Structure 1
Amino acid sequence: MSEVRLVDPANPPSRRAPLAWATGAAIPWLVLALGQLIWFVVDHRLLWLHAVAAVTTVVGAVLGVVVVPLWRYRVHRWAISPHAVYTRTGWLVQERRIAPISRVQTVDSYRGPVDRLFGLANVSVTTASSAGAVHIVALDQTVADQIVAQLTDIAALGVHDAT
Structure 2
Amino acid sequence: MLALCPLTALARGVVSRGFVTIHFHTPNGETKTVKAEPGENLLRVAQHNDIPLEGACECGLACATCHVILDKKHYDAIPEPTEEEEDCLDNASGITETSRLSCQIKVNEDMDGMEVTVPKITRNFYVDGHVPKPHSFVFLKHNSYSFSSSPSQ
TM range (shorter): under 0.3
Q: TM-score, normalised by structure 2?
A: 0.25
More helix by share: 1
Q: Which has the higher contact order (CA 8 A, sep 6+)?
A: 2
